[in-house]
Structure 1
Amino acid sequence: MWSRAMKTEGIEGTERFQSPGKGRGLKATKHFKVGDLVFACPAYAYVLTVNERGGHCECCFTRSAEGLSKCGKCKQAYYCNVECQRGDWPMHKLECSAMCAYGENWCPSETVRLVARIIPKQKCQTERTPSERVLTLRELEAHLDKLDNEKNEMNDTDIAALHHFYSRHLDFPDNAALTELFAQVNCNGFTIEDEELSHLGSAVFPDVALMNHSCSPNVIVTYKGTVAEVRAVQDISPEEEIFNSYIDLLYPTEDRIERLKDSYFFTCDCKECTSKSKDKAKMEIRQKLSTPPEQEEIKQMVMYARNVIEEFRRAKHYKNILHCELLEICEISLEKMGSIFAETNVYMLHMMYQAMGVCLYMQDWDGAMKYGEKIIQPYSVHYPPYSLNVASIYLKLGRLYLGLEKRTQGVKALKKALAIMDVAHGKDHPYIAEIKKEMEEQK
């Protein structure tokens, strides 16, 4: 039965195949031009992030300005309407009474919440789901043999939390099966983001996970509610492999290779990693220094930059840290790195991006605009065409300008965002309609 299903199932215009040196992958069987929808994939399982509760529907992730109805029992989950509430109940019931019982002590991680939703679905699912046309969830790579002590400990912590928070609602598989499932989710999970790349939730999309990685990808993944949409950002010919990017492509080759090895357990050999064509521009050194820095000084500064990026990432999760303290970390690091690095250097840009985010949170619109204006041009150079990172900065800047009554600059920036989003999201995406409406209101 399965082998027949394998033949009849599939995604039109594509084919699962053995990619030389990469294991399984997905290739095109027809021509796709830039902007074409290659395929869409509903989430096998998904969960809205806690921070977005009340702003988005738990079931369909629709953002609502009109207000959502909340679950009468836990009063923490919000829905568009009765249909969405009913549709989400099989998943929400896993958390609803537990949230009431635990109160403020209800704090499983997003990964734990996602795995808790996968377990019952896997148990009752005998047929392939619409998310598994070319790859089943059980086939996802776990790389258990490659996990280091730290990752194994994280897995154990997650399993303990799953038992702690869901013991009354779930019939658990054994520990070995749970270990494998958490490893599969950690290696193949996706974060669903909005048009400004704000985190909305986590999900698994087995078919999307089949695509291999390239630092010069020919497709991009965006989200329409809880459905992943894969669109071509380069022309793709029949028999050509379809490549997605697993990571943020801002950083130099060494960083990207390290990140891919650490999170996905392979060494990238794409043309970008072998040619390192963008590394010189990404690692730009400040001009007009009285004495050019030695290689060792540059190396030390890169180490400092990486450490401060990690320090900032951790600091963001401290409950008691003030936003002005986060901004101070950004400013001090920018001053130090600026003694050697040019403002277009990717490590400088990273901290400027963080500073912009903090300014937006603090409603320091001028500060956010100042950082955004410094970021946008180098971003357009360092990232591939049709990058969501570039679109999101144009979008943030456009909205900032409009808020500060700089109408001409605002509309111009929003148009640049739309030029990318038309390709990446598709012209009929609700985000595009929203942005066009914002522009119309300026007339």
Structure 2
Amino acid sequence: MVECEGIAGIEQFSSPGKGRGLRVSRAYEAGELLFSCPAYSYILSVNERGFICEQCFTRKKGLAKCGKCKKAFYCNVSCQKKNWPMHKLECHAMCVYGENWCPSETVRLVARIIDRLRQQKERSPSEKLLLLRDMEGHMEDMDNEKREMNEAHIAGLHHFYSKHLDFPDHQALLTLLSQVHCNGFTVEDEELSSLGLAIFPDIALLNHSCCPNVIVTYRGINAEVRAVQKISPGQEIYTSYIDLLYPTEDRIERLRDIYYFSCDCKECTTKSMDMEKMKVRKLSDEISQKEIRDMVCYARNAMEDFRRLLEMCELSIDKMSTVFDDANIYILHMMYQAMGICLFMENYEGAVRYGEKVMKPYTVLYPAYSLNIASMYLKMGRLYMALDRKSTGISALQKALAIMEVVHGKDHTYVTELKQEIRGE
């Protein structure tokens, strides 16, 4: 047992069957903060640039942009100076590559980790419990697909960062990428929209349970661990690595695929919530267990198909973009399909992102009074409203209305209902 440096009330210990873990040495009540951890390294998603400060992850209007690349935004000069050690890896490259600067988020994060490891002289505030180099990577458990992905990330590192970074050897890069794969965190806002990626070494010591007693949330670039139920002295603290909505078999499959273990928590053992999660319609004829199993199989395949469809759309857009302009009808068609898939998957931020790319070319390529344009304005307006961007949403709905008053007539039910929608009735 090792008392965790600087974190009162928490002990590191050897958790039976799980390896390293953390437990409490005093009682905690629901809602109480156990500890917080600053990010060892982090990146803001490219899609959030202009809305969120690159340094502190504060969402605000009127952010100041980097004078060199014009693509990174900050609250003020102080945030910009603090962020420069990380941003300098990308600033010059973004200027040189222009629109061709497109490393993956994983590549961007790993580049920043490599740079920090090179400069680091002592244990960081993010490593009070666990050094980054000691994080688990499960390299021996990776399948060929993940190994190939890591090789692609290494190629991306060399392509975009070789002029600014001295890389460790190939094996060390593979190890680091495996560690990031198993321990990386998606930083989310209050609506669970993704803001970026980060590494929190101390948080990586938390083991998983489908009946967690703590939750990890984010305050800017700090991760906070809070109790979600009463925890008694000596109890291990557990968080959940995955979405707990799904039934036991799905959760176990996801845990095996990403984290290489099976959960044996109370919920996975008893499956007490599976029947509630897998409710079927009450029909006159009783539904057999085989029919339920067949429908579960169909539902899983359908979800996976849509994820693959979105990946196919994105790959197709990337490939066609090497020749076609963004306003090319084939790219627009693919973006429209991607938008539809995002809507089906309830990824509204993604749907807006594709819709915005489609909207302007549509107004050029279609006649002024086109139902296609009106329907796009309607979709975008309602998406903006759903994402709490009210003024932008009303503006889009008003543009739809102007077209619909012409193509449907001012007294049409569609027009009347849209006017009521704009007024909030």
Normalized against structure 2, the TM-score is what?
0.77
- String of CA shifts for 1:111-140, please: whole Å, max 9, x gaps: 000000000211221311111111110110
Asked if 1:15 corresponds to 2:11, the answer is: yes
The one-letter amino acid of 1:47's match is I
- Which residue in 1 is equivalent to 2:182? 187
Aligned length: 352
Query: How far apart are 1:157 and its partner, in Å?
Result: 0.4
- Which residue in 2 is equivalent to 1:300? 294
CA distance in 1, matches of 2:352, 2:199: 32
- Which residue in 1 is equivalent to 2:241? 246
- Which residue in 2 is equivalent to 1:167? 162
Name the SS of the counterpart of 1:206 in structure 2. Answer: coil
Query: How far apart are 1:93 and its partner, in Å?
Result: 0.5
Name the SS of the counterpart of 1:73 in structure 2. Answer: coil
Asked if 1:225 corresponds to 2:223, the answer is: no
- Which residue in 2 is equivalent to 1:205? 200
Classify 1:359/1:280 alpha carbon distance in 2 versus 1 (closer, same or farther; 3 Å). Answer: farther
The one-letter amino acid of 2:87's match is H
* Kept after mapping to 1: 8 A contact 2:214/2:226: yes
Query: How far apart are 1:309 and its partner, in Å?
Result: 1.3
The one-letter amino acid of 1:46's match is Y
Q: How does 1:300-319 map to 2 (within 5 A)?
A: 300-317=294-311, 318=313, 319=317
- Which residue in 2 is equivalent to 1:414? none
The one-letter amino acid of 1:139's match is D
- Which residue in 2 is equivalent to 1:338? none
The runs of 5 or more residues in structure 1 that have no matched partner are 332-350, 370-394, 405-443
The one-letter amino acid of 1:104's match is E
Equivalent of 1:26, from 13, 22, 28? 22
Classify 1:356/1:179 alpha carbon distance in 2 versus 1 (closer, same or farther; 3 Å). Answer: closer
Equivalent of 2:47, from 51, 55, 64? 51
- String of CA shifts for 1:311-369, please: whole Å, max 9, x gaps: 222333424434577547977xxxxxxxxxxxxxxxxxxx5x45898599776499779
Asked if 1:137 corresponds to 2:146, the answer is: no
Name the SS of the counterpart of 1:127 in structure 2. Answer: coil
Asked if 1:152 corresponds to 2:147, the answer is: yes
Classify 1:133/1:253 alpha carbon distance in 2 versus 1 (closer, same or farther; 3 Å). Answer: same
The one-letter amino acid of 1:211's match is L
Q: How does 1:85-96 map to 2 (within 5 A)?
A: 85-96=80-91
Classify 1:131/1:302 alpha carbon distance in 2 versus 1 (closer, same or farther; 3 Å). Answer: same
Name the SS of the counterpart of 1:222 in structure 2. Answer: strand
Equivalent of 2:264, from 262, 269, 276? 269
**Greater relative contact order, per chain length (Cα 8 Å cut-off, separation 6+):** 1
Query: How far apart are 1:72 and its partner, in Å?
Result: 0.9
* Kept after mapping to 1: 8 A contact 2:184/2:197: yes
* Kept after mapping to 1: 8 A contact 2:306/2:341: no
CA distance in 2, matches of 1:248, 1:189: 16
CA distance in 2, matches of 1:98, 1:253: 45
* RMSD over equivalenced CA pairs, Å: 2.8
Classify 1:240/1:136 alpha carbon distance in 2 versus 1 (closer, same or farther; 3 Å). Answer: same
- Which residue in 2 is equivalent to 1:419? none
CA distance in 2, matches of 1:269, 1:359: 40
- String of CA shifts for 1:189-223, please: whole Å, max 9, x gaps: 00000111111000000011100000010011111
Asked if 1:100 corresponds to 2:101, the answer is: no
User: Over alpha carbons, which structure has the higher Rg?
Assistant: 2
CA distance in 2, matches of 1:151, 1:119: 21
The one-letter amino acid of 2:295's match is M
Q: How does 1:305-384 map to 2 (within 5 A)?
A: 305-317=299-311, 318=313, 319=317, 320=331, 321-323=334-336, 327=340, 353-354=346-347, 358=351, 364=379
CA distance in 1, matches of 2:151, 2:388: 45
Name the SS of the counterpart of 2:285 in structure 1. Answer: coil
- String of CA shifts for 1:274-314, please: whole Å, max 9, x gaps: 010000011111112x4333333322222221122122223
- Which residue in 1 is equivalent to 2:398? none
Q: How does 1:280-295 map to 2 (within 5 A)?
A: 280-288=275-283, 290-295=284-289
Asked if 1:111 corresponds to 2:122, the answer is: no
- String of CA shifts for 1:196-255, please: whole Å, max 9, x gaps: 111100000001110000001001111111000111001001100000100000000000
- String of CA shifts for 1:164-196, please: whole Å, max 9, x gaps: 100100000000000000000010000000111
* Kept after mapping to 2: 8 A contact 1:68/1:81: yes
> Matched residues, percent identical?
60
Normalized against structure 1, the TM-score is what?
0.74
Name the SS of the counterpart of 1:63 in structure 2. Answer: coil
The runs of 5 or more residues in structure 2 that have no matched partner are 318-330, 356-375, 395-425
Name the SS of the counterpart of 2:202 in structure 1. Answer: helix
CA distance in 2, matches of 1:32, 1:329: 40
